[in-house]
Structure 1
Amino acid sequence: MSHTVTDAQRTWLPWLAAVGFFMQSLDGTILNTALPSMAKALGESPLQMQSVIIAYMLTVALLIPASGWLADRFGTRPVYLVAISLFTLGSLACAAANTLPMLVAARVLQGVGGALLMPIGRLAVLRVYDKRELLRVMSFVTIPGLLGPLLGPALGGWLVEVASWHWVFLINLPVGLLGFIASWHFMPDLRQATARFDWQGFVLFSLGMVLVSVGLQGLGEHSLSTGWALFALIVGLAAMASYWLYAAHAEQPLFSLALFKTTSFAIGVWGNLFARLGSGAMPFLTPLFLQLGLGFSPSKAGMAMIPTVLGAMLTKTLVNKLIPRIGYRRILIGNTLALGAVIASFYMIDNQLSYPLLLGWLALFGAINSLQFSAMNTLTLQDLSPEHASSGNGLLSVVMQLAMSLGVAIAASLLGLFSAGTVANQSQWLTGFHLTYLCVGLLSMLAALIFAQLPKDRAPSAN
C-alpha cells in the first residue's frame, strides 16, 4: 500500500480536483438557465423542474458517506475514474430523456457519479498538502472550477435558443473524456487501511436524511399528501435520532461523534447547513427570476449571471489576505449577515432597475458568497486529525448537498406560495420572487448565530 506522490502528480493534482469542480459547476449552472425551456418542452410547470435539481443533490448526499471509505479501500485514482465515467454516462442519459420522470431517473445516475467525484478531489488535496499550504491550494483549486459557472449560464441560454435543451447535458461528454484521460495519468493512487464499512450506520443516516428531505419538500410544495409527508418526516427524524444514539457507542461508525469534539469542525458544519440554505437556492432561483419575473430571454439571463462568477473569482484572489488579517470569527459573522442582506435586497429589483446596476448587484452577491464558501470550508476542515480527515470531509460534503437541496426545495415552495401557483401573470411572478428572496435572505442570516460561537481569538495558523 503506497502513498508515494510524484512531482508531476503533486503539480497537477489541484488541476485534477478542479476538473471535478468544473464538471459539477458547469452542469449546475448551465441547467438552471435552461429550466424554463425544459419545462415548456416537457409540458411541465417551471416550479416542478426543481425535482431535476433535488434528485441529483439528494443522490449525491445519500452516497457521499461511502465515498471516503471507497477511496481508502480502493484508492483515490480508481474511484475518481469511475466517478467521471458515471457522471458522463448520466449526462448522456439526461440528454436522451423525453419525460420528466425519465430525466429525474437519469439525474439520479449522474448523482451516483457526482457523489464520488466531488469529495475525492478534495480528499486527495487534504492528504497531499499539509495544513500550512491548505488555504492556498484550496483557493487555487476553486478558481479553475469557477470557469464552469462563468461559461454555464451564457452557454446554457445560447444552446437553448440555437439548438435545444438536450445540449446542456451533451456538453459534459467531451469534458468528461478529457477529465478521464488526465486523471488516468496524474491522479495519485492514495490508499489507507480501512475497517469494515458501517452498513448499519449508513442505512440509518441515509434513510433519515432522505426521508426528512422528502417530508419537508412534500409539506412545502404539496407533492405528497400531508399525511404521507408527515409520516416521512417523523420516520426520518426517528432514523436520525437512532443513528446519533448508535454512533455514540459503535466502534467504527460512519461518522464518528468524535468529529464534533473539534470545535472548528462542529461550528463549520452547522454554519454550512444554515448559510447554504440561501446560497443553494440562488442558482435555482435567479435564472428563473430573470426569465419569468423580468422577462429576459434565456441567452440574456445567462449573460446576466456572468458578473456573479466574476465577483466570486475576484474574491478568491483576496481570501489568503483577508482571513489571516481579520480572523475567521469576524469574517464569518459579518459576511454571513452581509450575504443574507444581499439576498434579501433582491426584493427591490424590478423592471425599472437599469441593466448595469443589476449586473453590479449580481457581482456583489458573487463576491460575498465566494468569501463565505472559502472561509466556511477551510475553517471546517483545517483542524481535523489525519485519521478523521476522510470522515470529516465526507460529512461536510453531505451537509453541503443536503443544505443546497433544502434551499432549492424551500425557495420553490415559497415561490409557489407567493406566486399563487400562476404560470401566466408576470406581475404575480415578480411579487412571488420578491417575497421569496426576502425570506431566503433572512434564513441565511441565522448562520451568524452559529459562527458567533467561535472563540474571539480564533485565527488561522500562519502560512
Structure 2
Amino acid sequence: MNATPSHQALQPEFRLLVLLVSIGFFMQGLDTTIVNTAIPSMAAHLNEDPLNMHSVVVAYVLSVAACIPLSGWLADRFGVRNTYFSAIIIFTLASLGCGQSDSLNELLAYRVLQGIGGALLLPVGRLAMLKVIPRAQFLSAMSLMSLAGLIGPLIGPTLGGWLAEAATWHWIFLINIPMGILGCLITFKAMPNVTEPSVQRFDLWGFLLLVIAMAGLSLGIENFASTSLSLYWSLGLICAGLAAAVLYALHSHTHQNALFRSKLFNNRVYAIGIIGNFFARLGGNAMPFLIPLMLQVAFGFEPFVTGLMMIPTVLGSLASKPIIRPIIQRFGYRNVLLLNTLLVGACIASFALSGADTPLWLRALHFFIFGVLNSVQFVSMNTLTLKDLPQQDASSGNSFLSMIMMVSMSIGVALAGTLVNVFSAFFEAAQITSAFHATLICLGCINLITAMIFWRIPKDTAV
C-alpha cells in the first residue's frame, strides 16, 4: 500500500540531514546520563566528596535550561546551519576541556559551556528539519531521529561506568570529540543556512530575568547544606531567584516582545500541565543521579555494574510506549495522572527498602517498574500540556515546557544532593545508607503535591 500524503517515507536527499541532527541529539542525550555512574570516580580523582558532586550535573542541566530560549532566535537571526555548526563546535571544545580538567571548578566551567552548546543542538536541529523537510516526510524523519535520543540514555550509564573503570573518567567527555568532528564535516553538506527575512528584537531583559530566576533557585538549593558558604548566601540566592521569577511574570504581561507571553497561562490545561511537570520531575529526574550514587557510595557497587543495573529503567520506559495512548484513551488524562503520580511517588520512596543485599532480580524488576511508571508520567504530562495550545502559541509553549523540564531536573538534582548531605550530617557518616533512604522518601512525598495539582484537571478534558 502506498504511503498516505501525511506519512510519506523519507526521501534519500534528506537522510544526511536526519543523520546530522541525530548526532547532535545523541550527544546531548548521552551527556545527560553518562556522568551519573562516573561521579564517585571523578570525586576520587579531584579529591572531592562524592556527595558534593551534584554540581557537575546541575551546571550542565542549568545552562541547557538557560539557553533554550536563545535557540530559536539565534537560528532565525543567523541561520540554522551557522547556529548548529557553532553549537557543535562549542559542545566539542567544551567536552575536550572537561576531559582535561584537573579541578572541580575548572570542570564546572567547561560543563556550563558544554550545556550552552547542548541547549542549541536539539532545538535548532529539529527546527532545521521542520524548515527543510516537506511536511509529508516530517513524521518519518522525527521517528528516525528519536532512535538516537533513545540510544543515548540507554547506553549512557553503562558506558560511563565502564569507561570510569576500564580507563579514566576523562573519557566520558573525550568520546564526544570524534562525533563532534563528524558532525562538523556533515553540517555544511547536509544543512542549508535557512534564515527568516524579519526577526523581532531579542528580549534581553526577559532573558536575564529568567536566567537569574533559574540560577538563583538551583544554586541556592544546591548550596543549602554547604559547609563553605553561609546559609544566608543560599537564602539570598533563593530569594533573588523568586524575585526574578515574579519580575518576569510582570514583564511577560506587559512586554509585547517577551520570550514567553503571560497569555500562555490563560489556557487552564496548559497552566496545570506546566506546574505539574515542574513538581513531578523533581523526584523522577533526580533518580538517574541519586540511584547510581547510592549503589556505589552506600552499597559499594563498581561503576560498570552500577551502569548495567540502570538498563532495566530504560527498558521499562521503552516497553511502556505502546500502552500509554490506549491507557489515556480508556481512562482519561485526569485519572491516569492522578493514579500514576501517586504510584511514581510510592515507587521512588520504596527504593528506601532496598539494601546492598537486595536480590539482583528484585532490584532489576524494581528499576523496570520505575521506568514504566516514569515514562507513563512524562508522556501523559507532556501531551496534556501541549494538546490544546492554539497554533500561534505552539512554538512558544513548547519552548517554555522544554525549559521547565530542564529547570526541574536541575533543581531536582540539587535538592537530592542537598538532602543527602543534610541527612548525612544528621545520621553521621557511618549510616550513609539511612541518609539515602530518607532522601528517597522525601523525593517520593513531593508527588503528593503533584497529585493535588493534577486534581485540578477538568474532568471533561478530552483525549
Q: TM-score surpassing 0.5?
A: yes
Aligned to 2:398: 393
The answer to whether residue 348 in structure 2 is matched with residue 343 in structure 1 is yes
Q: Secondary structure at the match of 1:164?
A: coil
Structure 2 CA distance, aligned partners of 1:327 and 1:126? 31
Shift of 1:417: 1.5
Aligned to 1:266: 271
CA deviations over 1:24-51 (Å, ceiling 9, x no partner):
2211222110000110011000012111
Q: 1:304 aligns with which of 283, 301, 309?
A: 309
Structure 2 CA distance, aligned partners of 1:443 and 1:128? 43
Aligned to 1:71: 75
More deviation in 140-149 or 94-103?
A: 140-149
The answer to whether residue 53 in structure 2 is matched with residue 40 in structure 1 is no
CA deviations over 1:425-444 (Å, ceiling 9, x no partner):
3xx12111111111101113
Aligned to 2:443: 440
Structure 1 CA distance, aligned partners of 2:13 and 2:457? 36
The answer to whether residue 365 in structure 2 is matched with residue 360 in structure 1 is yes
**Aligned residue type for 2:276:** G
Aligned to 1:169: 173
For residues 189-228 of structure 1, what are the structure 2 equivalents within 5 Å?
Answer: 191-192=195-196, 193-222=198-227, 224-228=229-233
Shift of 1:185: 4.4
Shift of 1:449: 2.0
Structure 2 CA distance, aligned partners of 1:406 and 1:222? 19
Aligned to 1:156: 160
Structure 2 CA distance, aligned partners of 1:243 and 1:174? 40
The RMSD of aligned alpha carbons is: 2.8
Change (3 A) 1:339 1:210: same
The answer to whether residue 59 in structure 2 is matched with residue 55 in structure 1 is yes
Change (3 A) 1:146 1:390: same
Change (3 A) 1:185 1:262: farther
Aligned to 2:416: 411
Change (3 A) 1:417 1:250: same
Q: 1:459 aligns with which of 435, 440, 462?
A: 462
Contact 1:68-1:390 at 8 Å conserved across structures: no
Contact 1:339-1:365 at 8 Å conserved across structures: yes
% identity of equivalent residues: 48
Q: Secondary structure at the match of 2:201?
A: coil
CA deviations over 1:329-387 (Å, ceiling 9, x no partner):
22222222211111111011012321111011111111211222222223323433343
The answer to whether residue 313 in structure 2 is matched with residue 313 in structure 1 is no
Aligned to 1:254: 259
**Aligned residue type for 1:46:** P
Change (3 A) 1:93 1:348: same
Q: 2:149 aligns with which of 131, 145, 150?
A: 145
Structure 1 CA distance, aligned partners of 2:127 and 2:462? 23
Shift of 1:254: 1.6
Aligned length: 453
TM-score, scaled relative to structure 2: 0.89
> Structure 2 stretches of 5 or more lacking a match?
1-9
Aligned to 2:4: none
Aligned to 2:434: 431
Q: 2:107 aligns with which of 103, 109, 126?
A: 103
**Aligned residue type for 1:371:** V
Shift of 1:236: 2.5
**Aligned residue type for 1:439:** C
**Aligned residue type for 2:288:** P
The answer to whether residue 209 in structure 2 is matched with residue 237 in structure 1 is no
Change (3 A) 1:42 1:8: same
Change (3 A) 1:106 1:78: same
Structure 1 CA distance, aligned partners of 2:436 and 2:139? 36
Change (3 A) 1:7 1:138: closer
Structure 1 CA distance, aligned partners of 2:130 and 2:123? 10
TM-score, scaled relative to structure 1: 0.89
